[in-house]
Amino acid sequence: MIGFNTLDPYLPRPFSFLELDKETFSILVKIKGGGTELLSKVREGDELKVLGPLGKAFCPPEEGVLIAGGIGIAPVYYQSKYMKRGILFYGCKSKKDLVLIREFKKKGFVLRLITEDEGGFVTELVKKHTDELNDKQIFICGPIEMIKNVKNVLNKKQIENAYVYMEKRMGCGLGGCKSCAVKVTEGYKLICTEGPIFPLKEVKFD
């Protein structure tokens, strides 16, 4: 969680790590509202409140498939650092939004890229290459509509070994306020303490 030294914006913002080592970390910010706008103006020497790392740890597979839409590239990029090889399906609005391509290439990932203005949605790309998903662990991060569509594609092919990164506005980040609930097969789970990764089949999107 990244918090501000102001009362407006009031709430801290949950972010995934883009990179992390012993002394520093980085995040990827897309300006969407007041909080991200303020973050984009942070300069060296400014102070922010940082609380973390939060959530449940998981162990990425050596080889797997990453499916990202837009800013959803950030956590899968961090995950890719712990993987030996894989395939990245990645879609954005336009070419200039596709970031970190060089880094994924360097890592030896197979890249499947698409942009809305020149081809369509990442879901279509996934549909075209479903044979590449067999017997692999799949990790998805992106807008809810994209996740829902990918889930439909995977369901049709009876591919079940998929996980999703969930995101919601949070209050405390420590399980106290119960704000970041996600509907799952049985009731609700909290992203901050039980997530951010959930088995795709467990999450209810409607």
Partner 1 sequence: MIDLSVKLGALELKNPILLASGVWDIPYAKLIDFSKMGGVICKGVSLNPKEGNPPPRITETPCGVINSIGLENNGYENFESKVLPEIKSLGTQVFVNVFGESIEEFKVIASKINNVAGLELNISCPNVNKGGENFGKDPKTVFSITKAVCDVTDLPVIVKLSPSAPSIEQTAEAAKEGGATAVTVANTFSGLVIDIEKRGPLFERITGGLSGPAIKPLALYNVYKIKNSVDIPIIGSGGIANYKDVLEYLIIGATAVQLGSIIFNNPLAPIEILDNLSYWLEKNECENLRDLNKK
Binding site for partner 1 (CB under 8 A): 3-4, 7-12, 35, 49, 51, 168-172, 174-183, 187-188, 193
Nearer to partner 1, 120 or 175 (CB): 175
Nearer of residues 3 and 61 to partner 1, judged by Cβ: 3
**Least spacing, CB of residue 168 vs partner 1, in Å:** 6
CB closer to partner 1, 31 vs 111: 31
What is residue 105's three-state secondary structure? helix
Whichever of 47 and 135 has its CB closer to partner 1, that residue is 47
Smallest gap from residue 18 Cβ to partner 1 (A): 23
Query: Who contacts 201 (Cβ-Cβ below 8 Å, separation ≥6)?
Result: 160, 162, 185
For the bound state, the minimum distance from the C-beta of residue 108 to partner 1, rounded and expressed in Å, comes to 38
Q: Say whether the peptide bond before residue 143 is cis (omega within 30 degrees of 0).
A: no
Question: In angstroms, how far is CA 195 from the centroid of its own chain?
Answer: 12
Distance set, CA 74 to CA 18, 44, 66, 161, 206 (Å):
5, 22, 11, 21, 25
For residue 8, the minimal CB distance to partner 1 (Å) is 5
Side chain identity, residue 185: T
- In whole angstroms, how close is the CB of 173 to partner 1 at the nearest point? 8
The total number of residues written for the chain in this structure: 206
Q: Which is nearer to partner 1, 87 or 170 (CB)?
A: 170
User: Among the residues of 56-158, which ranges form H helices?
Assistant: 73-80, 101-106, 122-128, 144-156
Nearer residue to partner 1 within complex by CB, 83 or 191: 191
Q: Are 136 and 161 in contact (CB under 8 A)?
A: yes
Cα gap 1→198, rounded to integer Å: 19
Least distance between partner 1 and beta carbon 7 (Å): 5
Report residue 3: phi and psi, to 5°. Answer: -115, 160
